[in-house]
Structure 1
Amino acid sequence: MRRVASDYVLDIIMVVVIVLVLVLTLYPFLNSLAISLNDSNDTMRGGITIYPRKFTLRNYELIFTNPKIWMAYFITIARTVIGTVGGVFITGMLAFAVSRTNLVGRKVYTMLCLIPMYFAGGLMPSYFLNLSLGLKNNFLVYILPALVNLWNMILMRSYFQSLPEALEESALIDGANYITIFFKIYMPLSTPIVATIALYFGVQHWNDWFTSNLYITEDWLKPMQSVLLQIVNEAKFAEQMSSLTGGVSVDMGNIMQGRNTNVRSITMATMIITIIPVLIVYPFLQRYFVKGIMIGSVKG
């Protein structure tokens, strides 16, 4: 088909828009990375764009010399892995059950799942419930309350309903039970939606800091997000004390050393540490993401 001038104009507009969106998306990340790799005293002058003027790794050294950070990484990785795997399977089993047309009371169960999406119990009932279950200062407080996500359940249920019913019928004829059907037939065929839901669960667990603020008082159980927040707060305090003492170094243990750093540098460095693992994992799941959402949302 012959292209006309308007086609080329449209192509140019699309390229300009895509480049503009790319720049707007990448610039904040590159700017934060540059500040985190720039000398703190030089950063205070401002004017950092996408590359550091005075390259240094001291901002990251100050963070990783904090003994709390390694335990926090372990807690965060452990809760993310266990919470994601457990959430995918528990939510998936619930979705598989309510997707079966021969389930007695299927509509009632579905309605019971939908009601909390619109009318939640609230913070206080959830808090006292978790306390009564003995989840305060307990690692399981990160896992058990988040095992089922109703929105993710609806997406998985819709995906399961889109699979041919003949798969289930043939498996039942061959003597398989529903546990076998779920683990050996439906889950292997549901890679797109499983990868999508796993990404949802993983990001939720990785970024969560509110749960530890409510239920965790032991330092060794705090996740990375909470510890990094403490580091930023201590950096801010050290910077304020340094300004009050006329630039004299303020001893903050292994976190800060006076004017050798500032709150902006530490904030950017901690942000980069937080988001890099997600950026590494996301490309491996990206090819499933759109397909999982589209297919899982077609049939409700």
Structure 2
Amino acid sequence: MSLIKRKTKGEAVFDIINNLGMLLICFVTLYPIWYVLINAFNDGKDAMLGGIYWWPRVFSLENFKAVFDNPGITTAMLLTVAKTLVGVGAHVFFTAMVAYAFSRRELIFGRFYIFLGTITMIFSGGLIPTYLLIRDLHMLDTFAVFIIPVLFSFFDLIIFMTFFREIPDGLDEAARIDGANDWTILVRIVLPVSMPVIATIALFHGVYQWNDYFAGIIYINKESLQPIQTFLYRVVAQSSSNIMTTALQGSAVTKTVTSQSVKLATMVVTTLPIVFAYPFLQRYFVKGMMIGSIKG
């Protein structure tokens, strides 16, 4: 005798409508990305005629060649990779170090510190005081402006702290019996068993570092320290300016590319690396997001 419950007519209709609605949402979400992709791989002059909706009409890699032939874009890309790697490593370690101290039950005034940190999540000093502080610290037009101001996040500290408090106390006690100090416990015991939360925070901050363009606009005047997202922002905002002209200079394929096609190709180049990083961190990311949600 079958134990499978047959759906009623109303439930079947609901499932159909629900699935169609989800497909529509997926299409509306993904099609703009697909549209940018196919136009980036299409000949720039041909794309100006319009009518490209599903596949490239005249397939071409010249747009991407124009992007990578420009030394300014290459420099911006390398700088973005460097600040993402350095920023993620520094942010994760520094935040984990502070979170480990906050996770200790014996920390004096621990609740008071958490209260103060929570306030910083709600209120900030504002853009002008932050800029004046960065200026007085002599970090304008330096690589450090991408790293130090975002070295610590109290929101990430809470995630770290919650995970650290779930680590059995026996590991800490056994290590102290063997003569380990707090640094040794953090580096050799706590961090190695905290890969899910480390991957989660690394992904959060990595996406932020890769996509951040605001710091390059506010704090950077040197072109050599301009990250790729700031470069892209200026390309999009000033497509007819000297930035786009520079992007096409020195390229032998300018007869087949346009300012619009270079925009689209640059968008693809700056987006794909962070998209490719997700599958490798997905299993850690899902587990890390569940931290503190289940008790048992």
TM-score (norm 2): 0.88
Task: Please identify, of 203-212 and 36-45, the stretch whose mean Cα deviation from structure 2 is larger.
Answer: 36-45
2: CA distance, partners of 1:215 / 1:142: 9
Contact 1:99 1:161 in 2 (8 A): yes
2: CA distance, partners of 1:292 / 1:174: 30
- Partner residue of 1:111? 115
Instruction: Give the aligned residue type for 1:5.
Output: R
Task: Tell whether 2:261 aligns with 1:265.
Answer: yes
Contact 2:134 2:140 in 1 (8 A): yes
**Per-residue displacement from partner, 1:123-150 (whole Å, max 9, x unpaired)?**
1111011111110111111111111011
Task: Tell whether 2:4 aligns with 1:3.
Answer: yes
2: CA distance, partners of 1:92 / 1:275: 28
Contact 1:27 1:50 in 2 (8 A): no
2: CA distance, partners of 1:129 / 1:169: 42
How high is the sequence identity, in percent, across the aligned residues? 39
2: CA distance, partners of 1:251 / 1:229: 13
SS of the residue corresponding to residue 290 of structure 2 reads helix
- The CA RMSD over aligned residues, in Å, is 2.7
What's the CA shift for 1:91?
0.5
1:161-200 map, 5 Å: 161-200=165-204
What's the CA shift for 1:228?
2.5
Change (3 A) 1:169 1:216: same
Contact 1:63 1:255 in 2 (8 A): no
1: CA distance, partners of 2:255 / 2:159: 51
Work out which of the residue numbers 269, 272, 275 in structure 1 matches 2:271. Answer: 275
What's the CA shift for 1:47?
2.3
Instruction: Give the aligned residue type for 2:166.
Output: S
1: CA distance, partners of 2:170 / 2:59: 62
Contact 1:234 1:255 in 2 (8 A): no
2: CA distance, partners of 1:12 / 1:146: 46
Instruction: Give the aligned residue type for 2:115.
Output: M
Change (3 A) 1:99 1:38: same
Contact 2:45 2:257 in 1 (8 A): yes
Contact 2:76 2:228 in 1 (8 A): yes
- Partner residue of 1:246? none
SS of the residue corresponding to residue 106 of structure 2 reads coil
Change (3 A) 1:254 1:229: farther
Contact 1:209 1:226 in 2 (8 A): yes
Instruction: Give the aligned residue type for 2:284.
Output: Y
**Per-residue displacement from partner, 1:229-272 (whole Å, max 9, x unpaired)?**
3344554348x99xxxxxxxx99634798774344322221111
What's the CA shift for 1:71?
1.2
- Partner residue of 1:294? 290
Contact 2:70 2:248 in 1 (8 A): no
**Per-residue displacement from partner, 1:58-80 (whole Å, max 9, x unpaired)?**
21122112111121112111100
Instruction: Give the aligned residue type for 2:126.
Output: G
1: CA distance, partners of 2:32 / 2:134: 38
What's the CA shift for 1:2?
2.2
What's the CA shift for 1:200?
0.8
Instruction: Give the aligned residue type for 1:293.
Output: M
**Per-residue displacement from partner, 1:74-95 (whole Å, max 9, x unpaired)?**
2111100000000000011111
2: CA distance, partners of 1:21 / 1:155: 31
User: Tell me, which stretches of 5 or more residues in structure 1 are unaligned?
Assistant: 242-249
Change (3 A) 1:149 1:47: same
Work out which of the residue numbers 75, 80, 92 in structure 2 matches 1:76. Answer: 80
Change (3 A) 1:223 1:203: same
1: CA distance, partners of 2:256 / 2:234: 18
**How many equivalent residue pairs?**
290
Change (3 A) 1:2 1:58: same
Instruction: Give the aligned residue type for 2:108.
Output: V
Change (3 A) 1:14 1:4: farther
Task: Please identify, of 150-159 and 265-274, the stretch whose mean Cα deviation from structure 2 is larger.
Answer: 265-274
**Per-residue displacement from partner, 1:94-143 (whole Å, max 9, x unpaired)?**
11111110111111221221121112111111101111111011111111
TM-score (norm 1): 0.87
Contact 1:235 1:256 in 2 (8 A): no
Contact 1:39 1:55 in 2 (8 A): yes
Instruction: Give the aligned residue type for 1:138.
Output: T
Instruction: Give the aligned residue type for 1:121.
Output: G
Instruction: Give the aligned residue type for 1:187.
Output: L
SS of the residue corresponding to residue 295 of structure 1 reads coil
User: Tell me, which stretches of 5 or more residues in structure 2 are unaligned?
Assistant: none
Change (3 A) 1:17 1:284: farther
